[in-house]
Amino acid sequence: MKILTIETTCDETAAAVITDELDVLSSVVASQEELHQRFAGVVPEIAARAHLERCLPVIHEAIHKANIELSDIDAVAVAHMPGLAGSLLVGVTAAKTLAWLLDRPLIGINHLQGHIYACQVAFKKPIFPCIGLIISGGHSTIYHCRSPFDFDPLGGTIDDAAGESFDKVASMLGLPYPGGPSLSKCALNGDPKAFAFPRPFLNDSSRLDFSFSGLKTAVRYEIAGPGAVDFKSLIIDDQRKADIAASFEQAVVDCLVGKTMLAMQKTAIPRVCVGGGVAANRRFREALENRIAEEGGELLIAPMHLCTDNAVLGAIAIEKIKAGQVDDLSLDAVPGLIR
């Protein structure tokens, strides 16, 4: 069985062809990074228009790279939740049209569940039950994942997402978008102990939540104080910049790792699966690897191209087909964030 999966939840237009054995026959991702760079964040209207331009070429390329014809597809899957409304609508409309034209089953998938399921595709072994940590530009959530569709949110951010805070702090430091990679690079030359930035909730073992907004404000005050400031014209000494970057990064990593360990402890589940772009962060990976190894647990982080937004995360549709959870043409885009 071959499934065409479509992903347009945020700012990547992606399509993939995956078999029911979880073999990835093709995976194509068209990034919109260059379109959003000058705004230092994703602009929903621009994202939706770019999906519209790129959706069909990306689907064609995925079919071509899989070395098949469109008519060889047995089912069409699409991430229909959560995400940006205009972006989601493009993928959902394309998937519905194809499913109708080809007369094939249509499967709507939850993008967040797909992020965790990407670990099952990457490691080709059952991952459930596990603690699922999704850390991206839009999400920072810890789940108790009992099965592919039974996710219980244990906690998450009460304000900014982890990746969003990287992007915003990088922008304050005059580093290019996306901020995660540029800030971590800058942090390599810095002292992570130079500034004692806050680590909200870290010592509160009663909750598994994050808050990155206050941390971002603390960095802002350190850089420029509370008054109005034009960050673009601010000149910051290179060493000071690196020290701020390293101290900020360490604070985020301490929170992410601390709460993941607490989730393992509270649920007694020894396996952790991570998805989302922030999983690329080296300091985070090393810290989490070490802590989980100390506890004798198992950490699964898919290779980077499967951690960031891509259509392989639609492989979870295979589980839905097996469970008889097929949708009809009334499938709708559901933008709302579900934690």
Among 26, 136, 141, 171, binds ligand KG4 (CB under 6 A): 136
Asked if residue 164 binds Zn ion (CB under 5 A), the reply is no
Asked if residue 180 binds ligand KG4 (CB under 6 A), the reply is yes
Q: For residue 36, give the DSSP letter.
A: H
* Contacts (CB under 5 A) with Zn ion, residues 290-329: 309
The item of Zn ion, ligand KG4, none sharing an interface with residue 278, based on CB under 5 to 8 Å by kind, is ligand KG4
Name the segment binding ligand KG4 (CB under 6 A); options: 228-236, 255-263, 273-281, 286-294: 273-281
Minimum distance between the CB of residue 84 and ligand KG4, rounded to whole angstroms? Answer: 10
Amino acid residing at 18: I
Counts of helices then strands in the chain (DSSP H, E): 11, 10
Place of tokens 């000058």: 38
The reply, when asked if residue 137 is annotated as ligand binding, is yes
Minimum distance between the CB of residue 292 and ligand KG4, rounded to whole angstroms? Answer: 19
Q: For residue 249, give the DSSP letter.
A: H
98/277 with CB nearer ligand KG4: 277
d(CA 170, CA 191): 16
C-alpha 178: how far from its chain's center? 13
Place of tokens 């995360």: 313
The reply, when asked if residue 309 is annotated as ligand binding, is yes
C-alpha 112: how far from its chain's center? 8
Minimum distance between the CB of residue 339 and ligand KG4, rounded to whole angstroms? Answer: 15
Asked if residue 117 binds ligand KG4 (CB under 6 A), the reply is no
Asked if residue 155 binds ligand KG4 (CB under 6 A), the reply is no
Minimum distance between the CB of residue 115 and Zn ion, rounded to whole angstroms? Answer: 6
**Which residues, listed in sequence order, are joined to residue 156 by a DSSP beta bridge?**
141
Asked if residue 27 binds ligand KG4 (CB under 6 A), the reply is no
114/163 with CB nearer ligand KG4: 163
C-alpha 219: how far from its chain's center? 24
CA torsion 90-95-100-103 (nearest 10°) is 170
* Contacts (CB under 5 A) with Zn ion, residues 121-160: 136
d(CA 77, CA 9): 13
* Contacts (CB under 6 A) with ligand KG4, residues 247-266: none
Question: Does residue 314 contact residue 287 with C-beta atoms inside 8 Å?
Answer: no
Total residue count of the chain as it appears in this document? 339
The token duo for 269 is 């589940």
The reply, when asked if residue 111 is annotated as ligand binding, is yes
Among 3, 10, 73, 109, binds ligand KG4 (CB under 6 A): 10
Place of tokens 């995976």: 27
The token duo for 114 is 């797909």
The binding site for Fe cation consists of 111, 115, 309
The residues binding ligand KG4 (CB under 6 A) are 10, 136-138, 163-164, 166-167, 178-181, 184, 276-278, 280-281, 308-309
